[in-house]
A = this chain, B = another copy of it.
Amino acid sequence: MSINQLGVVKRNIVRADKAAVKKLGKFGVATIHEAMGRVGLMKPYMRPIYKGARICGTAVTILLQPGDNWMMHVAAEQLQPGDVAVAACTTDNFDGFFGDLLATSFQARGALGLIIDAGVRDVDELEKMGFAVFSRAIHAKGTIKATLGSVNIPVICAGALVNPGDVVVADADGVVVVPAFMAQQVADAAEKRESFEGEKRDKFAAGVLGLDLYKMREPLEKAGLKYIN
């Protein structure tokens, strides 16, 4: 199955290990991105449609055609509890592909939210439902149901490659994709990273400077930094 292939629905996908997903859910997007070696982020234009939205789940991917949300309905059937719908489009398009009716359907299937590189609508209702959505735009523009895209193929969403079953974590800092096969390893690395942060925070709070904590004075001098009065 190659990327962006049209007209295909894959039924059986390998979802990331549940325990690993659960563990990843404890960490923020910035921490996970660092734990992965500073990769995996979607573009920063992806924003939560309401304050406090947060998601951690396994991706069911959707490839949409511009102005056409037919594949959303096809995707609904493939959603399982704990999944996150991740929708890309074959071209830049800001229409409102998704609203409260589809959210009701997705939520009934157990889906936790939607990551969409396009627009959504009914955002007040989506907030009331507690259905988390991260999108590129909010737009009331309606769509049709006429052209085939795909479900559960590899897609590129907001600059990030997403394979079905990958873990997608989203919070106020953005959206990060963890490949399914790395989920446990990244969760462990994130945990380790976070364990160091508390101590650092205490030191910073006590007035210790990063210059001293990270022993930067010498390398800065070596790099040529000059202090003047």
Contacts and interface: CB of A to CB of B under 8 A. Distances in A.
Interface string A1-30: 111111111111000000000000000111
Contacts of A108: 204-207
B74 A95 contact: no
B5 A37 contact: yes
B173 A229 contact: no
A33 B174 contact: no
B7 A224 contact: yes
A76 interface: yes
A94 interface: yes
Contacts of A65: 67, 144
A77 B44 contact: no
A40 interface: yes
Contacts of A214: 73, 145
A188 interface: no
A191 interface: no
A102 to B, nearest CB: 7
A223 to B, nearest CB: 5
A192 to B, nearest CB: 16
Contact of A225 (B148, B172, B173): B148
A171 B179 CA distance: 34
A123 interface: yes
B5 A73 contact: no
Contact of A93 (B43, B76, B91, B182): B91
B161 A159 contact: no
Given A74-B225, A156-B156, 13 more contacts: A1-B228, A9-B226, A10-B229, A30-B96, A41-B139, A44-B137, A66-B66, A66-B95, A67-B91, A76-B210, A101-B204, A104-B204, A144-B147
